Chains A and B, each alone.
Chain A
Amino acid sequence: MQIKNKKWFSLNLSNKKAKNSSNHSCNCGKSSEGCGSQKDVEKTNDGFEQVMGANMDRRNAFKQLAASLLVGAGAINSACNLSSNEAFKEKAQIDWEEQFKGNYKLMTDEEKTATVDRLVRSHQLKTGDTLNMSSKTAVENVLFGYAFNISKCQGYMDCVSACVEENNQDRTSQMEYIRIHEMKDGKGFNFSEADDNYYHEVPADGHFYMGTQCFHCDNPPCVEVCPVQATWKEPDGIVVVDYDWCVGCRYCMAACPYDGRRFNWKKPEVPIQVINKNQHYLGNRLRKKGVMEKCTFCIQRSRTGKNPACVEACPTGARIFGNLLDPDSTIRWVLENKKVFRLKEDLGTEPKFWYFMD
């Protein structure tokens, strides 16, 4: 778990002897960049670098310092408490290291595994359960795409409940990534008149059903507006959020023309018995209050080869998922042989989510 060339000071609360942890501090008294005595240090662009290397004026520097002091004081206070046990100290150390980690996008593979290990350990200390969290990267020659058959969907909403369970969504606020819109026949795609929270026997006469969720645009406006680059498009086309880097400004929510993003207004709660332990750092790991989240094409499943939970749950086969780059894939057959369209195509967002009819 220890990272070589770590730039921040470790608390070492559990009094374990840290190996080589001091070999990178220099004795010249200057800050690490000034003395030039450690040229062999590998250059990474982690959170420490991103924060400490930034140009800032005196006022901002004091602000940052005050904030860090508060966090540090809290950690030290809880760590030095005489009554606290070893597990508590370890937890405090993990929290400390998590506080100074960088943007996931800029982490090295080593740093990615380290943060995943910390999160797993942290959950273990809190609950006693062991998670299976992954940081699996995108597979080359894969670009994920989705097709939705409007004539097949019956409005059963099995996909919605499967999605909530798979992605550890907050149960009390009933946040849902997928919306199924019940639309009147012959009125076009009239979202303002459609009902996405119906409760009657389905399919209702004279209606059709249309599902929306994050479309994983190839030119995503949500990514463009993020002021802290906490959301980005992965090489396999999945638009992801780093929940630990997100500041919760909700610009992305405003920028999305498809209402694909959701915000955690309160701390998400998932009963411990039903937590899905098969997790991905960029996917369904447990979120906190005040961050954005959304559909990730079930990144924890799709990157291993499995279909997303909504595809698996749909009893009508209205949902089709696959690799757009494979000329022999079923999704490509749909795009080439059915009359497909996308929502608000004229915006140039290039969604990778197509609709079609029989």
Chain B
Amino acid sequence: MSKTNSKNHVVAISKVLCILWMGIAVLSCKHQEEEYHGVLNKIELKSKDYKEISTSSEKFLAEYHTIQITEDGHTFLIPERKSQIQSFECSECHSKPLKKIKGKELKKAHWNIRLKHANAEMMNCMTCHDAKDTNHLKSLTGSKIDFNQSYNVCKQCHTKQFEDWKGGAHGKRIESWALPRASMTCVNCHNPHNPSFESRWPAKFNTQKIKERE
């Protein structure tokens, strides 16, 4: 009788201990702050119920003249181009065919343009410009392309850059990270007649660092 009693006691005590231990285990496992497994998990979970924020790029874009484009589901703004071209519209001078105004006593134009884009076998002026309709660019197959959407000319060869640009990995945002998105278009950074970036000297040289490291 007393034996079973003491056995019961032992069982009861061990039960209590077990519950206590489990309680401690559960409490100690509780994370102190946020319950995410790394920042990628945090981004994934937190953006599930993402609500649009009040921060907007509109006030920063007020001084820019932009046009909206949609390419493969990406809708964003690019700077308007035509008003930035010095002597647009082209037809104001190019009213006659090129051959007829060549050599005439007219003011020289475009004399400073040296084409450094691919090579002469691959490209010349007429690859992108249309001699018949100077107010428009043209595609490789001869269809018209508006000067405001000149990226349509570039994308014919630079397909990878075009993909990255649409998504936002290539090119540069204008002013703000917030929506609505405004991005530079190809010709805002690359001179279409000489598109590669030139080598130059760095903007800064730290003379103090040299002294410290001596």
Residues on A facing B (Cβ under 8 Å): 139-143, 145, 147, 149, 152, 154-158, 160-161, 164, 172-174, 176, 180, 197-203, 218-219, 302-307, 311-312, 314-317, 320-334, 337-338, 348, 350, 352, 356, 358
Contacts and interface: CB of A to CB of B under 8 A. Distances in A.
Given A202-B202, A320-B168, A326-B47, A302 B42 contact: no
Contact of A143 (B43, B167, B183, B204): B43
Interface string B177-213: 1110101100001000000010111111111111000
A246 to B, nearest CB: 22
B172 A314 contact: yes
Contacts of A154: 197, 199
A231 B204 CA distance: 30
A315 B51 CA distance: 32
Interface stretch (B52-60, B89-97, B125-133): B52-60
A173 B208 CA distance: 6
B43 A306 contact: no
Nearest to B169: A334
Given A321-B177, A330-B167, A305 B57 contact: yes
B54 A330 contact: no
23 contacts: A139-B54, A143-B42, A156-B202, A157-B202, A157-B203, A197-B210, A201-B199, A305-B176, A307-B176, A315-B189, A315-B197, A316-B189, A317-B170, A317-B171, A320-B169, A325-B46, A330-B168, A330-B169, A331-B177, A337-B169, A350-B38, A356-B169, A358-B160
A198 B172 CA distance: 26
Contact of A325 (B47, B54, B201, B209): B47
A197 B205 contact: yes
Contacts of A326: 47, 50, 53, 179
A338 B57 contact: no
Interface of B: 38-39, 42-43, 46-47, 50-51, 53-57, 59-60, 160, 164, 167-173, 175-179, 181, 183-184, 189, 197, 199-210
Contact of A330 (B173, B204, B207, B209): B173
User: Closest 5 CB pairs between A and B?
Assistant: A330-B168, A317-B172, A333-B167, A218-B39, A174-B208
Nearest to A327: B47
Contact of A174 (B55, B160, B172, B209): B209
Contacts of A202: 199-202
B179 to A, nearest CB: 8
Contacts of B205: 197, 199
A322 B181 CA distance: 11
Contacts of A332: 43, 47
A115 B129 CA distance: 61
Nearest to B184: A317
Nearest to A145: B43
A157 B53 CA distance: 33
Nearest to A198: B202
A331 B179 CA distance: 12
A140 B53 contact: yes
Contacts of B55: 139, 142, 303-305
Nearest to B202: A157
A158 B200 CA distance: 11
B78 to A, nearest CB: 14
A301 to B, nearest CB: 9
Contacts of B199: 154, 201-203
Contact of A311 (B59, B169, B173): B173
Contacts of B206: 174, 176, 197
Contacts of B173: 307, 311, 320-322, 330
A164 B164 CA distance: 30
A151 B20 CA distance: 58
Nearest to B161: A358
B43 A325 contact: yes
Contacts of A324: 43, 47
A326 to B, nearest CB: 6
A158 B203 contact: yes
A193 B88 CA distance: 52
Nearest to B208: A174
Given A317-B184, A330-B167, A350-B38, A302 B50 contact: no
